[in-house]
Every structure is written in structure tokens, then in C-alpha cells.
Amino acid sequence: MMKRLRIWMIVGFLLVGLPFLADEAIATQKENTPVEKKGNAPIPKEKAPAATRTVIPPSVLNIAKENTYPNSTQDLPYLQPSEFAQSLIDTSKIKIENPELIHMLNESAVGKAPFSFGYRATIYLGHWALNYQSSETAPNWEYQKINTNFFDNRANLTPHPIHYVQEMQKLVRGGLTAKIPSSPDVQKMMLIKAAEKTNLPLAFETIIGGATKKDQVYNIPARRLGYLNAYASAINEKGKVTYGEVYVILKGSKRSLLIKNITSQGIGAWIPVQDHLSFNFNASEQPR
């Protein structure tokens, strides 16, 4: 009777344990068997675009020292993935650049259990904006008119000098050109790309303080009206953002990222240039 009981126990163990052994054996065989890579070859990582200084026209002046409102810098340094986060990112076929997603992965950890044979789990991290690819970056030096200095010199026979004085504090806002999921994350990625490509101080909001002055002189001819217009500058950034559902796959001691339901969407944005104004001087016989 005891012998028969032992036999049933052995048979029961084999019935329960063999599926896991078979799965692991098949998985190991697949992993160790060379596979001819065609369409699923690893995607080479793109190199970050080298910063190229945008050519600033003579009409655009830097007012950082003169600005009575100190704008805080909006530099968004590249978030370095942790060793664990990088090991996960390297398993993804889709490029991951979202600083918020990288931050989440940096704060995550999965311990290696000594007895993880046959262990499997899928963890859903949510729907994320994964990366942004820039297709066009162009400056608009006269993005928004922020001030006009005026002097009537029609009664004088000699030229009259005029220079820029900001009459009141002005807030200049940029933003995305359309509603899009995960807007804050997309804005951060677009700001990083635009700053890399232009090497200009960029922010989605910038302020020109009241009474800000610039010493450069513009002469109004005799018997003329003089207008000195000041414009805030901005960068028009266009490209494509890629979205997807992010899963962490745990299989035994192995960990990987799986991206499902991948979609792409075109997007544009206006990003003001901090502390840079474009000046346009005009003299006329009649009021404008």
C-alpha cells in the first residue's frame, strides 16, 4: 500500500512539473538556437543631434542683463537611466526618451529570487508618450509684439534719438498647436529637442519686465513720426510623437519591456526664446 502511494506521488509530481520543465526547455532551446534576423533586426540607436547655433539676425538683441524680471532657466537635462532601467530600455524595440517614464523605471526594482524557475508575470505600467522625433525647427523672430515706443518729431528740424523702454510687464506664452495625450510629457521632449537643435534658451513661458531698457539708439528724422516696435521671438517645432502601452515582462530571472498598441501622431509647438527681442524701427510722415 505504501509503495503504491509513493508511485502515485511520483506520477503526480511529473504531471505537475513537466509542463514547466517543457516550457523552460523550449524557451532555452529557442534562445540558444540561431535565428536568421530579417525584419526584426535590432534598431540602431540614433545619435543625439549635435547642437548647432542658430544664426541670430542683427535686429534681434539679447536683453538678459537688462531684463528687470529674472527668468528662471528651463534647462531639462537628460535623465540618466539607472543600470536596471537601462537593461529594460535595451530590450524595447521602440526608442524610449520620455523623462517621466525613465524616472519611473529608475525608481523601480525587481529582486532576483533564488528559486524563480517557472515564474512568469506581466506588469502593466500604463499608456505613455514614448519618444518624439523632430522634423522641423524654425525661428520666428517676430512671434508676438510686446511693446511700442513712439515719438512725434514732426515739429523739429533735427533728428531725435529714441531707444527701447518696456512700458509694462509682458508675459509671452507658447504651447502645443493641438490637443494631444500626455501633453506635459510631450512638451518636455519637444523642448529638449528644440534646445539641442538651436542652442537657444527656450521656455514655454517667458516674461519681459516693465522698465526694461536697451541703450541702442534709433534716430527719428526731422519732421517724421518714429515707431520702435519690440517683438518676442519663438521657435516653431514640428515632429511626431510615438505612444504605446508599456508592460514589464518577468520570466524566470529575465526581465524585459513589451510595447503594445503603438501609435504615432504629428504635433507642433511654439516655444518662446527667453530674453531675446526683435526690434523694428519705422519713421513716417503720417500716424500709423
Instruction: Tell me the C-alpha to C-alpha distance, in Å, between residue 48 and each of 45, 78, 195, 264.
Output: 9, 11, 12, 20
Least confident of 100-114, 182-196, 202-216: 100-114
- Looking at residue 54, its pLDDT comes to 86
DSSP letter at 200 equals S
- Looking at residue 113, its pLDDT comes to 59
**Bridge-based pairing state of the strands 160-162 and 218-220:** antiparallel
Q: Cα Rg for the chain, rounded, in angstroms?
A: 31
What CA–CA distance (Å, rounded) separates 21 from 117?
9
pLDDT at 186 over 60: yes
Question: pTM to 2 decimals?
Answer: 0.78
Q: CA 201, 65, 275 angle in degrees (round to 5)? A: 30
101-117 in b/e burial notation, b at 16+ Cβ within 10 A? bbeebbeeeeeeeeeee
Give the model confidence (pLDDT) of 227-251 as tens digits.
999 999 999 999 999 999 999 999 8
pLDDT at 4 over 90: no
What CA–CA distance (Å, rounded) separates 268 from 178?
7
Asked whether the beta carbons of 220 and 171 are under 8 A apart, the reply is no
Give the model confidence (pLDDT) of 121-161 as tens digits.
999 999 999 999 999 999 999 999 999 999 999 999 999 99
